[in-house]
Chain A
Amino acid sequence: MELQVRDNNTYAATGGKEFDKRLSTVLFIHGSGLDHRSWALQTRWFAYHGYSVLAPDLPGHSLSDGTPLKSIEEMGLWLADFLTAAGVQAAHVVGHSQGFLCALELARQVPEKVRTLTGVGTAGAIPVNSALIEAALESAGKAAEMLLQWGFGRKSHYGMSAIPGMQPIAIGRQIMSNNPLAVDLQACAAYHTGEEVASKLEIPSNLVLAGEDRLTPVKAGKRLAEKLKGGYTVIEGYGHMLPIEAPKQCLHQLRELVSSFD
């Protein structure tokens, strides 16, 4: 669906069903340079099993208009405005990678909007190599290639895609190449307070971590889980792009936490 957020046309996937704000809402936030399609294999399940789903494209990404936001803090506030525009009082919030940093900032700045927090393939800080940022400033496509090589685990480089006949690395590359990847990476690089924010939150939380994650290693994810005082699960054999690489396992974990609060 499309809605106006801060006077900009904003797109949000609703999992193939019309959004109904009366239902319990699950908000999905994508990672750097990506869009709502990261969550294609999770959103439809929730939408068809009694939830309302919102998976927005952040401003300036894919189907959303507007100027890309330059900091994680701004993204958190924008998400609050987005939920308000959609008529949602509070949502279960799920974020992948940078998306979970945004979720933390949403929870810090407007805690009443957040019922539960689930992070997927994430950590309290996501350091970004300056060479990668420089590459992204020059060409999003070039940086996407570097990022995805590290982002996907061994099974995705060699093995069968979760959707028959698809080549997920190419899909990610196409999406990232046309999005403001450099702005997102700079925002990630500048954000260092995730663990501090997490330690002050009193919101039920859970992390789903990837055993072969080379961008947000399991060790960093576990440290964040400790600060959040929540649980975590490690899905072995997969890389950072968990929602795409291991969609079933990822969905199972999301369902566990969200359904336990409804």
Chain B
Amino acid sequence: MSRSSYLKPDTIALHSGYLPESDHGSRAVPIYQTTSYVFESVSAGSSLFNVEQGGHIYSRITNPTVAVLEQRLAALEGGTGAICTASGMSAIFITFITLCSSGDHIISATQIYGSTATLLRHTMKRLGIDCSFVPINDEAALRDAIRPNTKLVFCESIGNPGLEVADIPQISQITGEAGIPLLVDATFATPSLCCAIDHGANIVIHSITKWIGGHGLAMGGVVVDGGNFDWQASGRFAELTEPYAPFHGIRFWEEFGPSALVMKIRAESMRDIGAALSPHSAFLILQGVETLGMRMKKHVENAKQLVEWLQSQKEVTWVNYPDLESNPSHAIAQKLFPEGAGSILCFGVVGGRAGGVAFIDSVELASNLANVGDSRTLVLHPGTTTHSRLSPEDMLAAGISEDMIRVSAGIEDIVDIKADFELGLRAAKRVAVSQ
């Protein structure tokens, strides 16, 4: 049972948000491939536009197939509601832009995904929204960074690719005292391994392109409203508590309370920015959601076996995985991720950067690409790809070294993954010997 459903997670993943529809009894969730919806009458259309009734108007705002996915993800995370978007980055952007205006301030963890760091450092700054980066588990640093105009604290539950696990209970204690919402990108965790809302997060974001979709088929993102933040008591969010002119002066907090944020995002950001998830993509991602629990077990099992095996290889110079005692956030990982802290691991090989390049160029089963959370094993050199736009100092703060190889452990047979990695390690060794 999550905080928002009485069904168990594996049942939610298969059933929540959809009962076989009345006309044809389709057991699978149908793809409502339509842009718009016929109004029963002028009055009915007007009622929908005026939020007098629930329903669908235009697929940029809502769509029945997307709505099933949204409700299912809200139920899995224990939230009051969710909004799916065209990508994980659009989920992050619409949340920032819904809560922040020019002159506002965000606090972010230093160890985050490169594109999110770029968004905060450059794009948000151009819009007049400043960001302070702090080591997120440093209690004093976080407290010191809070300003009167701070609107949110952002972190990843497992940092990409430094694999620092955020101490969500400690962070949420601090943000709660300050009246600031905690926004957690839980992409690496998925609700199968850790429900951030249960630990004090107020908003959860995922790139559902990753493990939730799970098959590398479709892009998507989601914002889940925890419904556990008092926007009125905070005193920082006129966006949600004061009249909103484009909607006849609606006050989102008064009208919708625990679902105020998600309603505001839908009414404003989906309307204005239009980063809607397509119904076909929603359908593909739903197929992934249905098996999320069992896939994550296999992902984690393979990651743990791979970590153990890599540690015993003489060509491997270091391995990082949150379940290892050498990871600085190991104790937090044990607390928040009892089933295992995801399926991303990083390691270095002999030969440094050149050795790493040789490894990646030599593996055959694993794919060298800029994605994680596929059912197939993926490898990447973050320093030259996803995080290449960071300065050397920022790269170091993000936990990235020149020789780092990031692995997203897939669900193939572990014997084949190890055999493939042996090819890479031999190539790295050849480079090291020639140096």
Interface residues of A (CB under 8 A from B): 11, 13, 16-17, 35, 37, 40-41, 44-45, 48, 62-63, 149, 155, 157-167, 169-171, 173-175, 247-248, 251
Q: Are A161 and B228 in contact (CB under 8 A)?
A: no
Expressed in whole angstroms, the Cα–Cα distance for A44 and B266 within the complex equals 18
Q: Are A174 and B228 in contact (CB under 8 A)?
A: yes
- The reply on B79 being an interface residue by CB < 8 A is yes
Which single member of A48, A169, A175 contacts B52 (CB below 8 Å)?
Answer: A48
Q: Are A164 and B227 in contact (CB under 8 A)?
A: no
Q: Are A155 and B19 in contact (CB under 8 A)?
A: yes
New A-B pairs, 14, CB < 8 Å, besides A161-B67, A163-B81, A165-B83: A11-B254, A13-B255, A37-B257, A41-B53, A160-B64, A164-B71, A165-B82, A165-B84, A165-B262, A166-B74, A167-B4, A167-B81, A170-B3, A248-B53
Please name all residues of chain A whose beta carbon is closer than 8 Å to the beta carbon of B374 when the two chains form the complex.
none
Please name all residues of chain B whose beta carbon is closer than 8 Å to the beta carbon of A169 when the two chains form the complex.
4-6
Please name all residues of chain B whose beta carbon is closer than 8 Å to the beta carbon of A11 when the two chains form the complex.
254
Please name all residues of chain B whose beta carbon is closer than 8 Å to the beta carbon of A40 when the two chains form the complex.
255-256
Which single member of A164, A174, A175 contacts B54 (CB below 8 Å)?
Answer: A164
Given contacts A44-B51, A164-B54, contact A171 B19 (CB under 8 A): no
- The reply on B280 being an interface residue by CB < 8 A is no
Contact sample, A vs B, 28 pairs, CB 8 Å cutoff = A16-B51, A16-B248, A17-B248, A37-B255, A40-B256, A41-B52, A63-B254, A149-B6, A155-B19, A160-B18, A160-B19, A160-B68, A161-B67, A164-B55, A164-B71, A165-B67, A165-B82, A166-B54, A166-B80, A167-B74, A167-B79, A170-B5, A170-B75, A170-B79, A170-B80, A171-B80, A171-B227, A174-B228
Please name all residues of chain A whose beta carbon is closer than 8 Å to the beta carbon of B228 when the two chains form the complex.
174
Expressed in whole angstroms, the Cα–Cα distance for A250 and B232 within the complex equals 30
Please name all residues of chain A whose beta carbon is closer than 8 Å to the beta carbon of B3 when the two chains form the complex.
170, 173
Nearest B-chain residue to A46, judged by Cβ: B52
- The reply on B62 being an interface residue by CB < 8 A is yes
Which single member of B17, B257, B258 contacts A161 (CB below 8 Å)?
Answer: B17
- The reply on B87 being an interface residue by CB < 8 A is no
Q: Are B52 and A45 in contact (CB under 8 A)?
A: yes
Q: Are A247 and B54 in contact (CB under 8 A)?
A: yes
Expressed in whole angstroms, the Cα–Cα distance for A167 and B15 within the complex equals 13
Q: Are B262 and A48 in contact (CB under 8 A)?
A: no
Expressed in whole angstroms, the Cα–Cα distance for A45 and B53 within the complex equals 8
What distance in Å separates the Cβ of A165 from its nearest Cβ neighbour in chain B? 4
Mark contacts of B1-42 with chain A using CB atoms, 8 A cut-off: 1 yes-contact digit, 0 otherwise: 001111100000001111100000000000000000000000
What distance in Å separates the Cβ of B28 from its nearest Cβ neighbour in chain A? 14
Given contacts A45-B47, A48-B50, contact A167 B71 (CB under 8 A): yes
Q: How many residues of B contact A (CB 8 A)?
A: 49
Which single member of B19, B54, B70, B250 contacts A162 (CB below 8 Å)?
Answer: B54
Please name all residues of chain A whose beta carbon is closer than 8 Å to the beta carbon of B51 when the two chains form the complex.
16, 44
What distance in Å separates the Cβ of B73 from its nearest Cβ neighbour in chain A? 9
Expressed in whole angstroms, the Cα–Cα distance for A174 and B17 within the complex equals 19
Q: Are B18 and A167 in contact (CB under 8 A)?
A: no
Expressed in whole angstroms, the Cα–Cα distance for A110 and B250 within the complex equals 33
Nearest B-chain residue to A248, judged by Cβ: B53
Q: Are A16 and B249 in contact (CB under 8 A)?
A: yes
Q: A-B pairs with CB below 8 Å: how many?
A: 132
Q: Are A37 and B256 in contact (CB under 8 A)?
A: yes
Expressed in whole angstroms, the Cα–Cα distance for A246 and B47 within the complex equals 16
Nearest A-chain residue to B16, judged by Cβ: A158
Please name all residues of chain A whose beta carbon is closer than 8 Å to the beta carbon of B19 when the two chains form the complex.
155, 158-160
Q: Are A166 and B15 in contact (CB under 8 A)?
A: no
Given contacts A171-B80, A171-B81, contact A251 B258 (CB under 8 A): no
Nearest A-chain residue to B74, judged by Cβ: A167
What distance in Å separates the Cβ of A69 from its nearest Cβ neighbour in chain B? 21
Q: Are A159 and B18 in contact (CB under 8 A)?
A: yes
Given contacts A165-B266, A166-B74, contact A157 B7 (CB under 8 A): yes
What distance in Å separates the Cβ of B260 from its nearest Cβ neighbour in chain A? 10
Expressed in whole angstroms, the Cα–Cα distance for A158 and B29 within the complex equals 13
Expressed in whole angstroms, the Cα–Cα distance for A247 and B68 within the complex equals 19
Please name all residues of chain B whose beta carbon is closer than 8 Å to the beta carbon of A171 when the two chains form the complex.
80-81, 227, 257-259
- The reply on B356 being an interface residue by CB < 8 A is no
Expressed in whole angstroms, the Cα–Cα distance for A171 and B19 within the complex equals 21
**7 interchain residue pairs of minimum CB distance:** A170-B4, A165-B70, A174-B258, A164-B67, A163-B54, A164-B62, A159-B19
* From A17, A167, A169, A175, residue with most partner B Cβ within 10 Å: A167
Given contacts A149-B6, A171-B227, A173-B3, contact A165 B71 (CB under 8 A): yes
Please name all residues of chain A whose beta carbon is closer than 8 Å to the beta carbon of B258 when the two chains form the complex.
170-171, 174-175
Nearest A-chain residue to B69, judged by Cβ: A165
Expressed in whole angstroms, the Cα–Cα distance for A162 and B17 within the complex equals 10
What distance in Å separates the Cβ of B231 from its nearest Cβ neighbour in chain A? 12
Q: Are A166 and B259 in contact (CB under 8 A)?
A: yes
Q: Are B257 and A160 in contact (CB under 8 A)?
A: no
Expressed in whole angstroms, the Cα–Cα distance for A30 and B83 within the complex equals 28
- The reply on B56 being an interface residue by CB < 8 A is yes
What distance in Å separates the Cβ of A230 from its nearest Cβ neighbour in chain B? 26
Expressed in whole angstroms, the Cα–Cα distance for A169 and B5 within the complex equals 7
Q: Are A41 and B54 in contact (CB under 8 A)?
A: yes
* From A13, A37, A160, residue with most partner B Cβ within 10 Å: A160
Please name all residues of chain B whose beta carbon is closer than 8 Å to the beta carbon of A149 when the two chains form the complex.
6
Given contacts A165-B71, A174-B80, contact A247 B53 (CB under 8 A): yes
Please name all residues of chain A whose beta carbon is closer than 8 Å to the beta carbon of B63 when the two chains form the complex.
164
What distance in Å separates the Cβ of B235 from its nearest Cβ neighbour in chain A? 15
Nearest A-chain residue to B82, judged by Cβ: A165
- The reply on B78 being an interface residue by CB < 8 A is yes
Expressed in whole angstroms, the Cα–Cα distance for A173 and B198 within the complex equals 14
Q: Are A158 and B15 in contact (CB under 8 A)?
A: yes
Please name all residues of chain A whose beta carbon is closer than 8 Å to the beta carbon of B47 when the two chains form the complex.
45, 48
